[in-house]
Amino acid sequence: MTKGNFPVDKLKGIETPFYYYDMDLLKKTLKIVKEETKKYGFIQHYAVKANANRRILELIASEGFGADCVSGNEVKAAVNAGFPASKIVFAGVGKTDKEINLALDLNIFSFNVESLPELEVINELANKKGKLAQVALRINPNVDAHTHEYITTGLNENKFGFSLAHLDAVIETLQTLKSIKLIGIHFHIGSQIEEIKTFEPLCEKVNELQIYFEEKGIKLEHINLGGGLGIDYENPDAHLIPDFASYFEMFHKYLKLRDGQMAHFELGRSIVAQCGALVTRVVYVKQGEQKAFAIVDAGMTDLIRPALYQAYHKIENISSDLPVKKYDVVGPICESSDVFVKSYDLNETSRGDMLVLRSAGAYGEIMASQYNCRELPKPYYSDKI
């Protein structure tokens, strides 16, 4: 029996909770991203932070994409999964000496640098190794991403990147740093951005900055626009593959790239979110005074997004076709925030039913923890069960 895209009979025998990845959907998604970026000569670096599962990384690497990393271990994971170091960009506000040295030894494509002290340390460490470090300045464009405050990154008050007001000083310092080569500028305004129009002010800011750098006599070879394209959490089946065509077309239309200049992107969520689901079992159905609780064996330790930023994941009961009833779907963790959803319509459920939390391929498995001494959820793949 299958329900939706879920092979219920095969999944039944697996101990819950676990992540289930639809590898076919991931392949189709990658094919479309490849086609749409190729149209304009854009370069995509997959944001490893969204999901660093080895098989997923290997598949993405095998399709020729680059990687966007935010820690030394992400850089290692990317290289081990087959991403060439020459296609790796490395961002993050707190890169340690150890991480910088690792990236220098591997000769990564670029450091996306977020502060002046970081620039100075990369220069010093590169100098010691007799290397020239390629860097892109992460600029905070003060553009509102209109998304949840925890995943907004491009406003002045966020910790990321250089503020526009400090650029003059940064450029002055750069002239003195002999082991640094400035190759471009980098932006990332936030995540789960559903309105493609939200990126238009970013393009305008980039166009203004291009003139600013040209007036300083600086030629930028690379413009990195970051990631952030949102997905449909409400109704995943309606948009299993996000609208990459409109997204890249918008950048093509609004960005004024110079001859030979390359545009780079760092999409994460939009590539992997819809291919993953968290599968869990109902342990107990508990009748409260006013409501019923479906208590499941997955918790915030397996998928923290609802507890962390009130995120919504569609939940389906793949074991029942009974009429729907309302439930609070909650996990077993000893925290009041361990709630997936409240007052939710679910096909009537009973102990042992399997529920799937959809759209969990991004910022799901990778954010799992062992709080309460729990085991980490295991991954299973549609082509290997």
Ligand X SMILES: Cc1ncc(COP(=O)(O)O)c(C=O)c1O
CA separation for the pair 81, 78 (Å, rounded): 5
Nearest distance from residue 102's CB to ligand X, in Å? Answer: 18
Q: Which residue is nearest to ligand X (CB)?
A: 227
- List the one residue from 266, 297, 338, 353 that touches ligand X (CB under 6 A): 266
Nearest distance from residue 266's CB to ligand X, in Å? Answer: 4
Q: How many residues bind ligand X (CB under 6 A)?
A: 16
Rounded alpha-carbon distances, angstroms, from residue 136 to 109, 171, 343, 370: 10, 12, 47, 36
* Window 281-320: contact mask with ligand X (x via CB under 6 A): ----------------------------------------
Rounded alpha-carbon distances, angstroms, from residue 237 to 66, 242, 358: 28, 11, 10
Residue (113 or 339) nearer to ligand X, CB: 113
Nearest distance from residue 41's CB to ligand X, in Å? Answer: 20
- E strands of the chain, at which residues? 18-21, 43-47, 66-69, 88-90, 110-113, 133-140, 162-163, 180-186, 222-224, 262-265, 276-287, 292-296, 315-317, 324-330, 339-347, 354-357, 378-381
- E strands of 266-377, at which residues? 276-287, 292-296, 315-317, 324-330, 339-347, 354-357
Nearest distance from residue 93's CB to ligand X, in Å? Answer: 10
- List the one residue from 91, 177, 223, 341 that touches ligand X (CB under 6 A): 91
Near ligand X by CB under 6 A, which window of 196-204, 244-252, 262-270, 315-323? 262-270
- List the one residue from 50, 61, 67, 318 that touches ligand X (CB under 6 A): 50
- List the one residue from 95, 269, 313, 314 that touches ligand X (CB under 6 A): 269
Near ligand X by CB under 6 A, which window of 79-87, 223-231, 297-305, 374-382? 223-231
- For 41, other C-beta atoms within 10 Å of its C-beta total 11
Contact by Cβ (8 Å): 307, 300:
yes
CA separation for the pair 194, 61 (Å, rounded): 26
Backbone angles phi, psi at 45, to 5 degrees: -110, 115
Burial call 102-120: b when 16+ CB within 10 Å, e when fewer: bbbebebbbbbbbbeebbe
- For 326, other C-beta atoms within 10 Å of its C-beta total 12
CA separation for the pair 354, 3 (Å, rounded): 11
Binders of ligand X in range 149-188 (CB under 6 A): 188
Interface with ligand X, residue 68, by CB under 6 A? yes
Interface with ligand X, residue 226, by CB under 6 A? yes
- List the one residue from 17, 228, 377, 379 that touches ligand X (CB under 6 A): 228
Near ligand X by CB under 6 A, which window of 58-66, 79-87, 225-233, 302-310? 225-233
Residue (305 or 374) nearer to ligand X, CB: 305
Interface with ligand X, residue 95, by CB under 6 A? no
DSSP 367: G
Residue (74 or 302) nearer to ligand X, CB: 74
Near ligand X by CB under 6 A, which window of 31-39, 263-271, 300-308, 332-340? 263-271
Contact by Cβ (8 Å): 224, 186:
yes
Residue (44 or 319) nearer to ligand X, CB: 44
Residue (50 or 360) nearer to ligand X, CB: 50
Please report, as ranges, the residues that interact with ligand X according to CB under 6 A.
47, 49-50, 68, 91, 188, 191, 226-229, 266-270
